[in-house]
Structure formats: C-alpha cells, structure tokens
C-alpha cells in the first residue's frame, strides 16, 4: 500500500488523509480536508495557506478531524519527534484560529460539559472552599497557655487563613 496519495498535482500522506477522514479506506475527501492535509503534511507552507484556511466553511466535523490529528501526533511522538510536533502545532493552530480554543485543552469545554452547565454551577455552590468562622473562639483557633494574650492577636490558623470583610475564611 502506498504511503502517499496523489490528488491533482499534489501529494498527501495516506496517514494524514485517513486520520482527517476518520476511516482507513476512503474514496472521496472534502476539499477542506485536502487543504488541512496539505498544511499538516507541509508545515512550512502553513503560513501561506492561512488565508485559504481562515476563509473556508467549517463545522464540528472539521474540528473532530483536527482533534484526530492531534491525538495521532501525540501517539506517534516517539517515532519522529520533530515531525509530530510540527503536525501537532499546525492542527492546534488551525483549531484555535477557526474555533477560538482547543477542545482537548482540559478547560471543561467538552461536549458533556457544555450540556451540563447548570449542574456544574450547582456543584460549585455546594462544594465551595469557604468556611464560616465563629465569633466565639471555639475549636483549633483558640490560644491557650502562657503568652496567649501577647503578640498581634492572631492564632496560627488565622494567620494561615485570611479573612475577608464578611468574616469568612478562605482555606
């Protein structure tokens, strides 16, 4: 099986086109995917393809194709470090340019996170890291023994945890 595919007067990597298409055996490749494939296979030509890529019509399928390239590049990073880093850079740059952010960046913007925004807001309210301080001085914050009244008047736990204007301690 050939490692390159010639379409028109341009050569493309079979691996790149298969990864973009999301299937091993393909018969027809969208022009947008060919343009992306050209940029990924020839990263030093990428700056000259920016306008064409920026002006093309795109959807979530293109984003998933770019994510597939990123995953594939990370999986093959040990085979050819420099080449895979270039592929990864081009795929991430195109995704950021077209979609504004990376899907796999780990910022909670995945498909499930977008569907459950209300649930996350409720969870944040319940699981916040604020603890109300008591004005009675009970518990670990109470100072005992000699020298309890000396110094700046802060206990060890109070000096570690800062209070805000409402008397809440941020841990």
Strand partners, 132: 168
Angle at 139 between CA 138 and CA 141, to 5 degrees: 90
Distance CA 127, CA 109 (A): 20
Look at the block and give the residue holding tokens 């969208």.
30
Identify whether the C-beta of residue 115 lies closer than 8 Å to the C-beta of residue 93: no
Instruction: Answer with the residue of higher pLDDT: 82 or 1.
Output: 82
| pTM for this entry | 0.61
| Residue 86 in this model has a pLDDT that exceeds 50 | yes
Name the pLDDT band for 104 (thresholds 50, 70, 90): confident
Mind listing the pLDDT tens digit for each residue in 54-69? Answer: 999 988 999 999 999 9
- Residue 167, pLDDT score: 62
């Amino acid at each position: 099986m050939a490692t390159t595919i010639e379409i028109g007067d341009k050569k493309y990597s079979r691996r790149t086109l298969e990864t973009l298409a999301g299937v091993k055996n393909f018969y027809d490749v969208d022009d947008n995917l060919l343009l992306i494939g050209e940029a990924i296979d020839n990263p030093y030509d990428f700056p000259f393809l920016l306008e064409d890529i920026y002006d093309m019509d795109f959807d979530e399928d293109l984003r998933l194709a770019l994510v597939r390239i990123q995953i594939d590049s990370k999986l093959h990073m040990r085979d050819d470090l420099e080449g895979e880093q270039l592929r990864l850079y081009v795929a991430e740059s195109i995704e950021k340019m077209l979609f504004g952010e990376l899907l796999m960046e780990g910022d909670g913007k995945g498909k499930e996170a977008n569907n459950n925004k209300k649930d996350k807001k409720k969870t944040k309210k319940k699981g916040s890291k604020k603890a109300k301080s008591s004005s009675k001085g009970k518990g670990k914050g109470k100072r005992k023994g000699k020298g309890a009244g000396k110094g700046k008047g802060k206990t060890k736990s109070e000096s570690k945890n800062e209070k805000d204007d409402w008397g809440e301690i941020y841990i």
